Structure 1
Amino acid sequence: MKKNQQSRREFLSNTIKASAVLAFPSIVPASVFGKNAPSNRINVAAIGNGRIGRTHDMPGVWQYDYAQLMAVCDLDSLRAADGKKLVNEYYSKRDGKDFDGVKLYTDYRELLQNKDIDAVLISTPDHTHAMIGVAAARTGKHIYMQKPASLTIAEGRVISDVVQKSGVKFQIGSQQRSSEQFRYAAELVRNGRIGKLKKVYVGLPGDPPGGNKTEMPVPGNLNYDMWLASTPEVYYTEDRVHPQSGYGRPGWLRCEQFGAGMITGWGAHHIDSAHWGMGMEKSGPVEIWSDKVEFATGGLWDVHGIFKSEALYANGVNMIVSNEFQNGIKFEGTEGWIFVSRGDYQVTGSDPTKPGEAAKKIGASDPKILTSVIGTNEFHFQVSKEHHGNWLEAIRDNKKPIAPVEEAHRACSACLLHHIAMKLKRKLYWDPAKEQFKNDDEANKMLSRPQRKGYEVK
């Protein structure tokens, strides 16, 4: 495998000159140069070099020899430089020689014009996911994007449509689809091991109030206007953005201007996994309501804390989502129940699952349920052993990834529907096919938000 960074164009040009051949195939056969030859390698760029990017998404890609992290991008120039250093150091250590082949960008639009880049990781704040994802799809880049898929349901529909039209391989970061216990639990439910499914309980955390509201000067290393993107102009304060020192949990996660809080933060994971078991991964609820919610007040942060909301699906299944339940998903049927969670697995140190305190990965009303073998003629999901690897394989082998864009949009939409119900505090009636509320102008206005000029998702 070539360890230095070399583009396809340079590789083919040099090969032609060396062999004096007038014509040469654009994809070099693996039998000639090996499976990791420059022409077969997937060149990946990391957009967003913060906490989740450097601890989860970059390592998720660089572990595969047939992928190369060739560029990093962050609109905080210090984080971009840190990201470049991190990747260069990894390849230097892996290969036992100095490596300095990573290109640095501070504007994702410039990065997307680099034709040597095949695919991008989008590890940015929630409110920029759809904006960058749409731009990446329109330039033909394959996409791995952190969840949730969008800030609003209207944005989500745009990115799903654009990605599907482009034909690029899209993977949402719902890595529970690549966890054996979540797949097995959903297959057991889909194959009737707990009888007819009646209720699904989804346990999610809330967020506490707080945050320093003091206005501060914008750091010289941060392009704050681009960071705000489509959202309204507001003054800079560190607790609204991300730490200027270190990579702790960023404050934007707790500001409704940039997301909906834990209902989309962890809800995008658990509601997606619940949809798997319910057979609703390409649809959504028909009724949604909330009778208990507290939104943070007094400080900068204003997302929900304690809450309870419910949804009814067309198949008669009732989903109840609350911070009162244990973190995870409980499927309840006419003949038993199954509970599934991540156990003590953590993506970041601030995850609401702690070693020694977490629930079992999977449990059931009857232990025999968990020893059930799913037969060859029964329903099966695609098997994925690692989420980033599944995406890279989809690109390499031209196959469907395990967490495609429409299902990502539907999971995110369900979360946002719960959030709208929490805001309006009354029962809402939803048409999953039309993606509109029925006879409810007030609720329908909440499907989108005004967007600042130059940062629209359209």
Structure 2
Amino acid sequence: MRKPDKSACNRRDFLKTAAKSALAGTVAISGFPAIVPSTVFGKTAPSNKINIGQIGCGRIARGHDLPETFKHDAARIIAVSDVDSHRQASCKKLIEGWYEKKTGKSDYIAVKAYDDYHDLLANKDIDAVIISTPDHWHAQPAIEAALAGKHIYLQKPTSLTIEEGRMMSDIVRKTGVTFQLGSQQRSVQPWPQFKKACELVRNGHIGELHTVRIGLPFDPPGGDTTEMPVPGHLHYDRWLGSTPYIYYTRDRVHPDNVNGRGGWLRCEQFGAGMITGWGVHHIDIAHWGMDTEYTGPIEIEATAEFPETGLWNVHGRYEVNALYATGVKMQIGGDNPNGVRFEGSKGWIFVTRGNVGVTATDPGSGDNNKPFQASDPGILQAETGPKDIRLYSSAEQHANWLDCIQNKKQTISPAEVAHRSCSACLVAHIAMKVPGKLYWDPEKETFRNNTEANKWLSRPQRYPYGTNYILHT
């Protein structure tokens, strides 16, 4: 395993000290970049550009995060980082080409490219970062970005484990940076039906809510297990990060086609499968409608099928049943229509994306279902009255993030809400692994009287990577 160079050690030692101070409530650290960059909150802040670094240059970055960010004049993308030098160079070229086309100037911007995102975070010209990495590389760069005073747009899920998700949320809160999760179903564009559905539920248009049914896709088994040489353009050890070392094969990482879906999505070493991959989206909407954004279930039980052969080993068919303290039951199953169905004493509402995905390679998202349905079509026509609950309105997820950076507001998907959406998914995944009904304490974030289930709240981390290294060594 390649040892970190001296500069990397210095950077990480610095982040370690900052993390301890942040968790203790002391964030004014000598020599540390300002937590709120003057380039953002100066006297002419609304007209200033927010300098952004893109961490991770694969499918989601190129097909979603960058195109959505390009639309807004407040943003200027000035740096990229990726452990795959081909993807890194391609992303740099894409960004420079976009600005050239927009401005007519071939030298308008020279995007800086970094092999190690820590070097990007050390660049004081950068105000904010977009993190579009594989799931096992979400919490750590988000924590380190917060400690470096960078505002954060993080793709879901927030974390690989509940422990590191809690750590991430706490540090974001302590440092005060602006955080947004890529849970774009909350924003009006491109799916206004989700906010409308949650407002209808919260305002009693289906009576007393008693059940929420969620449908998610599930992944197939398969994948080539043949050991292959590591490509020269991939820093594989860094790509594996805090997870155990295992030999390289293409279907474990990502295809040569930069827009293709990575095989890591189907490997438990790097995530939990669709229960977090799509689950964060739909459970987030369920929580919004249930008014349980800052908590989680109190009881949960699940069954799931897991492949016995092949490379890909995330869950297949499954069923999850959970209970919240409000008395509302949540049922999640791969056989349910993809979406969220709220059931009340006077009727039901079903909401989904329809047949529109975020990228061209997303799995089927709507199963040809109408995106907005109800037991009585008249429910969907109900107007919000002056005394009714009105939920946070965001035109588009990236636009909301940029606006909140400039105007010091909370985003529509802040860190704690994001963590709770993810932790509910991770609790469901643990229930797939541990038989019987589990009793979850959403305040302490532990299982009551179940040592086996509590073992899943964290994972061993491979030195020198991982959130444990930042905070404890």
- Structures share fold, TM-score greater than 0.5: yes
User: 1:170-185 to 2 correspondence within 5 Å?
Assistant: 170-179=179-188, 180-185=192-197
How far the C-alpha of 1:106 sits from its partner, in A, is 1.1
How far the C-alpha of 1:424 sits from its partner, in A, is 1.2
Which of the numbers 145, 161, 168 marks the counterpart of 1:152? 161
CA distance in 1, matches of 2:442, 2:253: 34
Query: CA offsets, 1:160-192, max 9 Å, x none?
Result: 000000100000110001032111101111111
How far the C-alpha of 1:393 sits from its partner, in A, is 0.3
CA distance in 1, matches of 2:365, 2:216: 14
How far the C-alpha of 1:454 sits from its partner, in A, is 1.4
How far the C-alpha of 1:297 sits from its partner, in A, is 2.5
User: 1:370-381 to 2 correspondence within 5 Å?
Assistant: 370-381=380-391
Which of the numbers 431, 449, 455 marks the counterpart of 1:439? 449
Q: Which position in structure 2 is the counterpart of 1:120?
A: 129
CA distance in 2, matches of 1:29, 1:140: 19
Mapped contact 1:343–1:353 kept (Cα < 8 A) = no
How far the C-alpha of 1:245 sits from its partner, in A, is 3.5
Task: Give SS of 2:152's match.
Answer: strand
- Is 1:405–2:415 an aligned residue pair? yes
Letter in 1 for 2:64: H
How far the C-alpha of 1:28 sits from its partner, in A, is 6.3
CA distance in 1, matches of 2:287, 2:333: 16
CA distance in 2, matches of 1:133, 1:148: 12
Deviating 4+ runs (over 6 angstroms): 25-28
CA distance in 2, matches of 1:200, 1:188: 14
Letter in 2 for 1:288: I
Q: 1:35 to 1:398 in 2, by over 3 A?
A: closer
CA distance in 2, matches of 1:35, 1:439: 52
Q: Which position in structure 2 is the counterpart of 1:96?
A: 104
Which of the numbers 66, 72, 76 marks the counterpart of 1:68? 76
CA distance in 2, matches of 1:88, 1:456: 32
CA distance in 2, matches of 1:330, 1:168: 34
Query: CA offsets, 1:74-116, max 9 Å, x none?
Result: 0101100000000011111111221442111110000000000
Q: 1:332 to 1:358 in 2, by over 3 A?
A: same
Which of the numbers 105, 111, 120 marks the counterpart of 2:114? 105
Letter in 2 for 1:386: E
Which of the numbers 366, 378, 385 marks the counterpart of 2:376? 366
CA distance in 2, matches of 1:332, 1:218: 50
Mapped contact 2:63–2:259 kept (Cα < 8 A) = no
How far the C-alpha of 1:360 sits from its partner, in A, is 1.4
CA distance in 2, matches of 1:425, 1:319: 18
CA distance in 2, matches of 1:183, 1:456: 36
Query: CA offsets, 1:333-392, max 9 Å, x none?
Result: 00000000011221122323368x521121111111111111122111111011000000
Q: Which position in structure 2 is the counterpart of 1:82?
A: 90
How far the C-alpha of 1:35 sits from its partner, in A, is 5.1
CA distance in 2, matches of 1:154, 1:35: 37
Q: Which position in structure 2 is the counterpart of 1:229?
A: 241
Count of residues in correspondence between the two structures = 426
Query: CA offsets, 1:50-80, max 9 Å, x none?
Result: 0000110011111111110011110101100
Instruction: From the CA coordinates, give the structure whose radius of gyration is larger.
Output: 1
Greater shift after overlay, 407-416 or 360-369? 360-369
Q: 1:80 to 1:232 in 2, by over 3 A?
A: same
- Is 1:274–2:286 an aligned residue pair? yes
Letter in 2 for 1:381: L
CA distance in 2, matches of 1:431, 1:397: 36
Name structure 1 gaps, 5 residues minimum. 1-24
CA distance in 2, matches of 1:262, 1:296: 14
- Is 1:331–2:339 an aligned residue pair? no
Task: Give SS of 1:319's match.
Answer: strand
Letter in 2 for 1:313: Y
Which of the numbers 49, 68, 75 marks the counterpart of 1:41? 49
Q: 1:28 to 1:268 in 2, by over 3 A?
A: closer
Name structure 2 gaps, 5 residues minimum. 1-37
- Is 1:428–2:438 an aligned residue pair? yes
Mapped contact 1:47–1:122 kept (Cα < 8 A) = yes
Query: CA offsets, 1:191-241, max 9 Å, x none?
Result: 111011011000001100000111111111111111111100101111110
Mapped contact 2:54–2:131 kept (Cα < 8 A) = yes
Q: Which position in structure 2 is the counterpart of 1:196?
A: 208
CA distance in 2, matches of 1:369, 1:307: 31
CA distance in 2, matches of 1:293, 1:109: 38
CA distance in 2, matches of 1:330, 1:239: 35
CA distance in 2, matches of 1:29, 1:261: 46
Mapped contact 2:300–2:323 kept (Cα < 8 A) = yes
Task: Give SS of 1:46's match.
Answer: strand
Which of the numbers 228, 236, 258 marks the counterpart of 1:216? 228
Task: Give SS of 1:399's match.
Answer: coil
Task: Give SS of 1:198's match.
Answer: strand
Mapped contact 2:58–2:258 kept (Cα < 8 A) = no
Q: Which position in structure 2 is the counterpart of 1:53?
A: 61
Letter in 1 for 2:450: D
TM-score, scaled to structure 1 = 0.91
How far the C-alpha of 1:401 sits from its partner, in A, is 0.4
